[in-house]
Amino acid sequence: MTRTKTRVVILVPSMMTGGMEQCTSLLMKHFSRDYFELELVTIFDRPPFFKIPSDVRLHILEKSPGQTSAKPHVQLSSGATRKRNDAMLWLGVVASKLGSLVSEIQPDVILAQDIYATVIALMAKKEMKTTPKIVGTVHIICSNFLQQVDFGDLFAHLLRQYLQDADALVAVGNSVASDLIMHFGARQNQMTVIQNPFDFEEVERLSHQNLDEDAALYGQIPTVLFVGRLAHQKGLVYLFQAIALARKLQEVRCVIVGDGEERDQLEATVELLGISSNVTFLGRVQNAFKYMRAATCFVLPSLVEGVPYAVIEAMACGCPVIATESNPDLGELLGDNERGILVPPRNFYALAEAILRVVWDKNLRKKLTEAGTRHVKHFDRSDAVLRYERLLKSVTAF
C-alpha cells in the first residue's frame, strides 16, 4: 500500500523547558496533518513540560532513572562517563538505538532539533536499514556555546565530521547560520534561516491571568525578572552581582522562573552575596507570561544565546528588556537599543546601571515597552511553520 503522507520523526533531547522544546511543541501542534504524519523521539526519559499532541506517538531512546537534566552534555559528564572514550561509546549506543528505531518506523525524514540531536541522527545513518533525509536545526551560536559546556570539544569535532552529511540545516538566525559555515564546515546550500515560530495572541492572552498567591512579589518594590534554564551559559551569577550592586541605591526584588542543573549553586551564590531577601526562586511554572506582564523589567544576562523565546515573550507581554550582547541576532531583535537595552556579557556594573535606568525612568520603560510590543506583534507563527513544511517537502521530493 502506497503511503500518502510524509512520515516525519522529530528527534529532541527531551520536551522539558527551553526554546528548542517550545519550537518543537509549536511545530508539532501546527504542522499540516493533511500532508505530514508525525512521530516524536526523545533521547532522554524526562517528564515533558510542553504538551505532546495526542496524535503524535512518543518513543524514548534512553531510560535512565535518577537523571534530571534534559541536555546530553550533562548526562555525559556524570559518574563513570566522564572520559571522552566513554562519551563516544554512549553516543554510539544511542545512535544505534535510533538507527534500529528508524528502521522500524521507516520515516521519510528526521527533523533533529538542536546540535546534540543532529549529531546523533547523523551518526545513526550507518545503522539505518532505510535512508530517510536528515534535517538538523541549530538554535545557538555553536562556536561560543561549545566552549562553555562539558564535552564541547567532542561535539565540535563531531559537528565538523558529520554536518555536511545533513540533507538540510535550519538556523534560527543569520549569525547562527554564519557560525556553522565558518567554524563547522556547513555548506551555504545546506542552510535555511527560519525564525522560531511564535504565537503572539496566545502569549498576550496568558499574560493577563492573575498572579494569585504570587501577587505579593509585585508590590511597591521594582521587580527584575529572569525566565529560563538555570545553567552556566545564562550568566545568572552576573545578574545576582548586579542586584547586589543596584540595591545599594534602590531596593529591588529579583524573581527567577525556571530550573536547571545550577540551581543549588546559584542559591548558594545568592546567600554568599547577602541578597537572599531580594531574590525569589519560583522554579518551573506553567505560565511565565503573567510574571512578565507584572515585572518592572526582564533581564537576560546570557554569555551565549540563540534568538531566545523569553526575550520575544517579554516584549509581547509589555515588559522592558535588558539583555547582553550575546548574539548579533539578539541585537537585531532589540533594534540597537530602540526596543531593549543591550549591555556587554559578564559586566555586572553595566547590568546594574541598565537595571537602575529602567527602574528610575518611567518614560524609558514606556518607550521600550511600546516599541517592543509593536515589533513582535507582527511576528507570524504561520510563516515559520510553512517554511519548515516547505523545507521538509523539498528534501523528500527527490
pLDDT per residue as tens digits for the range 28-54: 999 999 999 999 999 999 889 888 999
The three three-digit cell numbers of residue 51, written as one number: 504538551
What does DSSP assign to residue 57? E
Strand 253-257 relative to strand 223-227: parallel, antiparallel, unpaired?
parallel
Of 153, 210, 221, whose CA–CA distance to 184 is shortest? 153
Q: What is the pLDDT of residue 64?
A: 54
Q: What is the pLDDT of residue 331?
A: 87
Q: How confident is the model at residue 126 (pLDDT cuts 50, 70, 90)?
A: confident
Q: What is the pLDDT of residue 14?
A: 93
Q: Is 310 in contact with 228 (CB distance < 8 Å)?
A: yes
The values of phi and psi at residue 333, to 5°, are: -60, -40
Q: What is the pLDDT of residue 220?
A: 85
pLDDT tens digits along 83-109: 678 888 889 999 999 999 999 999 999
Q: Is 239 in contact with 254 (CB distance < 8 Å)?
A: yes
- Secondary structure (3-state) at 55: coil
pLDDT, greater one: 376 or 87: 376
The chain-wide mean pLDDT, for the chain, equals 90
The CA distance from 300 to 212, in Å, is 25
What does DSSP assign to residue 197? P
Of 171, 197, 147, whose CA–CA distance to 313 is shortest? 197
Q: Is 134 in contact with 167 (CB distance < 8 Å)?
A: yes
Place of cell 508590590: 219
Percentage above 90 pLDDT, the chain: 75
Among 109-123, 236-250, 321-335, name the one with the lowest average pLDDT. Answer: 321-335
Q: What's the whole-number mean pLDDT along residues 193-208? A: 93
CB environment 298-316: b (16+ within 10 A), e (fewer) = bbbbbbbbbbbbbbbbbbb
- Single pTM value for the model: 0.87
The CA distance from 221 to 255, in Å, is 12
Q: How confident is the model at residue 6 (pLDDT cuts 50, 70, 90)?
A: very high
- Secondary structure (3-state) at 118: helix
Q: Is 394 in contact with 6 (CB distance < 8 Å)?
A: no
- Please give the domain boundaries of the chain with CATH numbers for all domains: 6-198+380-395 (3.40.50.2000), 200-376 (3.40.50.2000)
- CB hemisphere CA count around 284 (13 angstroms): 12
Q: What's the whole-number mean pLDDT along residues 246-256? A: 96
Q: How confident is the model at residue 2 (pLDDT cuts 50, 70, 90)?
A: low
Q: What is the pLDDT of residue 398?
A: 58
Of 301, 302, 304, whose CA–CA distance to 352 is shortest? 301
Of 293, 296, 270, whose CA–CA distance to 281 is shortest? 270
